[in-house]
Amino acid sequence: MNSAESINIPDGKAAKVSIIDTGARINKIPTGYLVQPPVEGFDYFPTIPSWSFLIETTSGRRALFDLGIPKDWRNRPPAQSDSLKNRGWSIEVDREVQDILPDHGIPVDSIDSVVWRYVQ
């Protein structure tokens, strides 16, 4: 029995999911931001990458879950940028997802929908 049969996925109803390393990196995130109670000696997380996900259906439709960080994140509206600036994290961004997709043969205009979320 193959894995598709074991979870009853009908033929043609699966999707291809690709992880996109956006190249963005976040440093200096205190572990207390995500983990409680604090762990002694584990004050900061290691460097965290920012990934996005491209989902392609068998019919050729494409959806992008863009979890990347904009290159100009410091110049975004204050509601977006101030919370990141005030946290003291080190955020490094060289490229955006729209710059990366064409390098891998995916034209930006071939994306049918984009989902993104800004976390405050």
Quote the domain boundaries for residue 44.
3-116
H or E segment and range at residue 113: strand 113-116
| Rounded-to-integer distance, Cα 93 and Cα 81, Å | 14
- 92-117: per-residue pLDDT in tens? 999 999 999 999 999 999 999 999 86
Q: Encoding tokens for residue 3? A: 């894995």
Closest to 117 measured CA to CA, from 49, 52, 32 = 52
- 12-23: per-residue pLDDT in tens? 677 899 999 999
Reported pTM: 0.75
Q: Encoding tokens for residue 107? A: 């034209």
| Rounded-to-integer distance, Cα 25 and Cα 68, Å | 10
Query: How many domains is the chain partitioned into structurally?
Result: 1
Tell me, what CATH number does 17's domain have? Answer: 3.60.15.10
